[in-house]
Amino acid sequence: MNLRKRNRPAAEVNTSAMNDIMFFLMLFFLIASTVTNPNVIKLLLPKSDTGQSVSKKTVTISVTKDLEYFLDKQQVPVTELEARLQGLKQQTDELTIVLYVDRTVAIQDVVQIMDIANRMAIKLVLATEPK
C-alpha cells in the first residue's frame, strides 16, 4: 500500500470576472442615482371616502397667418370661440388655454383672444419656440 502524501494542486477561484461585474454594477447605480430627483418629498397622504378629484384640462387655440382660428384642431369662427370655450369651461373646474399664434399675425388678434380668456377667468399660456 502506498501511504505517501500525494501532491494535490491547490484549488483556486478566479475572481477577475467578478471584479468587472461589480465595477459595472457600481457604475450603473451611480448613474441611476444621479437621474433620480432628490428634491421630491415623498409623503403618505391620508385617504378619504368623500374626496373629489380636481379636473384640469388644457385647450389649444391656433391662429394661422390667414386668421383661421382652430380650437383643438377644429376650425372655428372667431365669433363662436367664446361660446365654445364657455361650454368647455362648464365641463371642468380649471381650464387652461395654450395659444399658438403665427408670428406674422397682428398683436390685436392675439389680444382679442386674451380678452376672451380674461372675461371668462381662464388661464392663458402663449406657446413659443426655443431659439
pLDDT digits (tens, 9 = 90+) for 71-125: 888 889 988 998 998 888 888 878 888 888 888 888 898 899 999 999 988 888 8
Enter the C-alpha cell of residue 125.
Answer: 399660456
How far is residue 62's CA from residue 79's CA, in Å, rounded to a whole number? Answer: 15
Using alpha carbons, select from 63, 39, 34 the residue that is nearest to residue 126.
63
- Domain assignment present for 19: no
Domain that holds residue 118: 56-126
What does the pLDDT read at residue 115? Answer: 93
What one-letter code names the amino acid at 106?
A
Give the CATH number for residue 70.
3.30.420.270
- Domain assignment present for 21: no
- Domain assignment present for 65: yes
How many domains does one find in the chain?
Answer: 1
| Predicted TM-score (pTM) of this structure | 0.57
- Domain assignment present for 87: yes
- Domain assignment present for 114: yes
